[in-house]
Structure 1
Amino acid sequence: MKRRLWTREELILALSLYLKLPFGKIHHQNPDIIELAQLIDRTPSAVSMRLSNFASVDPFHQKRGIKGLVGGIKQVQPIWNEFMANKDELLFESEQVRAVLEYRPLEQKYGDVLSGVENLKGEVKTQEVKVRVNQHVFRKIVLVNYNTQCAVTSINIPEMLIASHIIPWSANEEERLNPSNGICLSAHFDKAFDKGFITFDEKYKLVLSPSLKDYSTKDYFSTWFQRFEGARINMPQKYLPHLDFMAWHRENIYKY
């Protein structure tokens, strides 16, 4: 029986799933892997192996000396390179492909996320759908990377967590979906980070702005900020916040 080659669409679905899973959970018994296998009519073991192929080309694992499965590297390397060059397009395409296979239009699958787009038309609507879906995917990747807990407080209530961009979405199109440009923060720390009241140093330790310390006489200051000053973030499972992005935040957002 002739082996069925993986299509480009199947490979981008596998890459999208790889980005959303911790390395230790890319085994064939993972429910997410079983679900994708059923969707593309392959075995969970085959999908698990493809994810391990992506691990073999992931620079994060290469730096750790983890080789993954190198047998399929020729198939996955072009998809990985395409993702690195154009994350917006590839992640959105993966969600479109999946929606087709699930027989669910994107607007139905992402009903809450896309609320209001039905009033838009043409290219404006297309772009808004793309932005919102990609932001949703980015959030999922970042939360998984931090084990669904705030990097500062360890709060692990998903509804209270935000995938904070280190370099804002609008400031750098190329890096807006880079997992290393995200950090999982609880809502009030996300706002403080976004407005420059906190930042992180080159050792990933929390730094409080002098502007925030103007409120040091308030009870909430010691409870919600001072107690965490100088503490190192809960380190992510895979993608560390890029030090260059952190430096950009300190130079452009942080209130000195």
Structure 2
Amino acid sequence: MEGRNGVKWSREETILAYELYCRTSFSKISQTNPEIKKLSELLGRTPGSVALKMHNLAHYDPELKKRNVTAMAHGSKLDGEIFTEFCNDWAELSYRAQVIQAKMQNIQINELIDVGDIDNIPSGEYKEKVMRTRVGQYFFRMSVLNSYGNRCCITGMRRSELLIASHIKPWSVCDEKTERTNPCNGLCLNSLHDKAFDKGLITLDSGLKLVISKEMKNVQMDEMTREWFYGYEGKQIHLPDKFLPGKNFIEYHNDVIFLR
């Protein structure tokens, strides 16, 4: 493909690349990734060019730097500006990217991703708010699950139908701009551990090791289930390759949600 390769990246294109970067496991950023191929076709660039741009954006990721994960060393000024603008405004990033992509394809956002049945909602501010919320939920789920390699961070289970992008700090009390769709406020959990985490029956300590509430001690269960459930106590979760659980979110869960 020749197309627009060699042409300077625009702001809109860079936003799309950054949004996809957030939804893609760092180890999966390559020209063979189907999502990267799809974006390259939309932009008229090669998959290699899109993958390179995503690696350039990774250069500005502070979490990767802390963990000495090697990224490209030549991010552009625009890459840095886009990263800085959206790294604490995940809701706007996710929605803006879908708006740009829909406009490029001359279609509606609900033709790109499943945002539920909103056709019956009259056009206006409320409909846009519902759309933004559902786009943000999609972005959050994809970012969290892909960062954990689509496996439960406690059990290692790999079955997307049984996995949930769990909020560490509950959605209802999150700041809409910086917390609700922030992938660092997420854990990839199987359905049972998601429910236990949500109800404060388990949590993580500062070392990201599993802690089980005393409330579980007298819960009736057969020995095999008890052995399985408690077998993970004190063990560190499987870490994501980016978007490590935020310290402030873990502290909130420990202080407010967890039943000691």
Give the TM-score normalised by the residue count of structure 1.
Answer: 0.91
Secondary structure of the residue that 2:119 maps to in structure 1?
helix
Paired residue for 1:135? 137
What is the one-letter code of the residue matched to 1:163? A
1:221 CA drift (Å): 4.9
Identical amino acids, percent of aligned pairs: 38
**Rounded Cα–Cα distance in structure 2 between residues aligned with 1:143 and 1:95:** 19
Task: Indicate the SS of the match to 1:225.
Answer: helix
Secondary structure class of the residue paired with 1:163: strand
| Structure 2 counterpart of 1:162 | 164
What stretches of structure 2 of length at least 5 have no aligned partner? Answer: none
How far apart are the structure 1 equivalents of 2:52 and 2:82? 15
Is the counterpart of residue 205 in structure 1 residue 209 in structure 2?
A: yes
Per-residue deviation, residues 102-161 of structure 1 (Å, max 9, x unmatched):
3431223334x323x223232221111111111111101100111101111222110111
Q: Using the alignment, how far apart are the partners of 1:239 and 1:126 within structure 2?
A: 28
Q: Call closer, same or farther: CA 1:136–1:223 in 2, change over 3 Å.
A: farther
Please say if residues 200 and 207 of structure 1, whose CA atoms lie closer than 8 Å, have aligned partners that are also in contact: yes
AA matched with 1:204:
L
| Secondary structure class of the residue paired with 1:96 | helix
State the Cα distance separating 1:178 from its structure 2 match: 1.8
1:119 paired residue number = 120
Cα RMSD of the aligned pairs, angstroms, is: 2.0
How far apart, CA to CA, are the structure 2 residues paired with 1:191 and 1:208? 13
Shift of 1:87: 1.5
d(CA) in 2 for partners of 1:25, 1:149: 15
1:143/1:149 contact within 8 Å kept: yes
- More deviation in 218-227 or 6-15? 218-227
Q: Confirm whether residue 104 of structure 1 aligns to residue 107 of structure 2.
A: yes
Amino acid in structure 1 at the alignment position of 2:135: V
Paired residue secondary structure (1:154): coil
SS in 2 for 1:185: strand
Cα distance in 2, alignment partners of residues 131 and 140 from structure 1: 14
CA distance in 1, matches of 2:48, 2:158: 31
- Aligned mates of 1:207, 1:67 — CA distance in 2: 32
Please give the alpha-carbon distance, in whole angstroms, between the structure 1 residues aligned to 2:144 and 2:71.
Answer: 22
- Amino acid across the alignment from 2:181: L
Deviation, 1:44, is 1.9
1:19 to 22, 25, 32: 22
Match for residue 46 of structure 2 among 43, 46, 65: 43
Give yes or no for the alignment of 1:192 onto 2:193. no
Shift of 1:196: 0.6
Shift in Å, 1:66: 4.3
Contact 1:56 1:66 in 2 (8 A): no
**Distance in structure 1 (CA, Å) of the matches to 2:67 and 2:257:** 32
Residue 237 of structure 1 corresponds to which residue in structure 2? 241
TM-score by length of 2: 0.90
Aligned counterpart in structure 2 of residue 150 of structure 1, from 149, 152, 170: 152
Higher relative contact order (CA 8 A, sep 6+): 2
Match of 1:5 among 3, 8, 14: 8
- For residues 126 and 240 of structure 1, the distance between their equivalents in structure 2, rounded to whole angstroms, comes to 30
Distance of 1:21 and 1:54 partners within structure 2: 12
Query: CA contact under 8 A between 1:92 and 1:134: conserved in structure 2?
Result: yes
Deviations 1:67-122 (A, max 9, x none): 522333311011001112322112111012122333431223334x323x223232
Q: How many residue pairs are counted as aligned between the two chains?
A: 253
Structure 1 residue 172 displacement after superposition: 2.1
Distance in 1 (CA, whole Å) between partners of 2:154 and 2:253 is 17
